Amino acid sequence: GLLQVVKQCVRVPVCVMIRPRGGDFLYSDREVEVMKADIRLAKLHGADGLVFGALTEDGRIDTELCTALLAVCRPLPVTFHRAFDMVHDPLVALETLISLGFERVLTSGCDSSALEGLSLIKRLAEQAKGRIVVVPGGGITERNLQRILEGSAASEFHCSARSARDSGMKFRNPNVAMGASFSAPEYSIKVADVAKVRTLNAIAKNIL
């Protein structure tokens, strides 16, 4: 439903993340079935690209599963998401993704944010030599985007560009939380911030 509405509202390409649950990237057979079904449905309803990641228990790219999922995704372009940041050896993993045929890899440089992982992102981009697009992501804001783009020589970036908006609810029950204790406040909503998007775009266009 979200994909259908988004496609009606925007003209930019829409890439859909295929992730059946939170947590790690080691998937069961049933979860793989869900991922394949999600891919087929996303394609049916107008996705312009797919995004997923899958690892083996020892922290390597799950080549067998990725190959199977890529086959379902084609002919759409596919990005390997930040599961990459949990791999045992990122330089080896990058070559694996290239050989499998991923168009992009999203990464924070195997660190808590793209800024902290900047040196590895730059090294990955240099190693890629245009064979795959290395996309910095993780904690990118208007305050650090210029440093990240200049420091990594990246041509693309990923960020949420969100702000918190207070709920319109007037009646509020302070005794009940509908999610885990570490989740967002019950009466606060995270929304895309148009002003942030415009600022980030302006910064990027000035650099790229």
Q: Which of 13-27, 44-58, 135-149, 176-190 has the lowest mean pLDDT?
A: 176-190
Q: Which of 42, 30, 137 is nearest to 81 (CA)?
A: 137
* Enclosing H/E stretch for 154: none
Give the separation between CA 27 and CA 50, rounded to whole angstroms: 17
pLDDT in tens, 89-139: 999 999 999 999 999 999 999 999 999 999 999 999 999 999 999 999 999
d(CA 104, CA 102): 6
Q: Which of 114, 190, 181 is nearest to 152 (CA)?
A: 114
Answer yes or no: is 138 within a domain. Answer: yes
Model confidence band, residue 63 (pLDDT cutoffs 50, 70, 90): very high
If you write DSSP's letter for every residue of 89-124 in order, what string do you get? -HHHHHHHHHHHT-SEEEESSSSSSTTTTHHHHHHH
Assess if residue 186 is contained within a domain: yes
Residue 33 lies in a domain: yes
| Full residue range of the structural domain in which residue 57 is found | 11-171+180-206
**Domain CATH code at residue 69:** 3.20.20.380
Q: What pLDDT is attached to residue 181? A: 61
Burial group, residue 138, by CB count within 10 angstroms (0-12, 13-18, 19+): buried
Q: Tokens for 62, please give them.
A: 């799950």
User: Is the per-residue pLDDT at 184 higher than 80?
Assistant: no
With respect to residue 2, please indicate whether it lies within any of the assigned structural domains. Answer: no
Q: Over 80: is that where the pLDDT of 151 sits?
A: yes
The amino acid at 131: R
Q: How far is CA 173 from CA 26, 164, 190, in A?
A: 38, 20, 20
* 155 within domain boundaries: yes
Q: Which residue shows structure tokens 């929304």? A: 191
Q: How confident is the model at residue 201 (pLDDT cuts 50, 70, 90)?
A: very high
- What is the count of structural domains for the chain? 1
104 lies in some domain: yes
Helix (H) / strand (E) element for 3: namely helix 2-9
If we measure between CA atoms, which residue out of 76, 63, 79 comes closest to residue 18? Answer: 79
For the chain, percent of residues with pLDDT exceeding 70: 98
What residues does 134 pair with on adjacent strands?
A: 105
Domain-embedded: residue 4? no
* Confidence band of 179 (pLDDT split at 50, 70, 90): confident
Q: Is 3 within a domain?
A: no
Q: For residues 60 and 84, is the Cβ–Cβ distance under 8 A?
A: no
Query: For position 182, what pLDDT does the model report?
Result: 63
Q: CB within 8 A of 141, min separation 6: which ones?
A: 159, 196
pLDDT of residue 202: 97
| pLDDT value for 15 | 98
E strands of 48-173, at which residues?
49-52, 78-80, 104-107, 133-136, 162-166
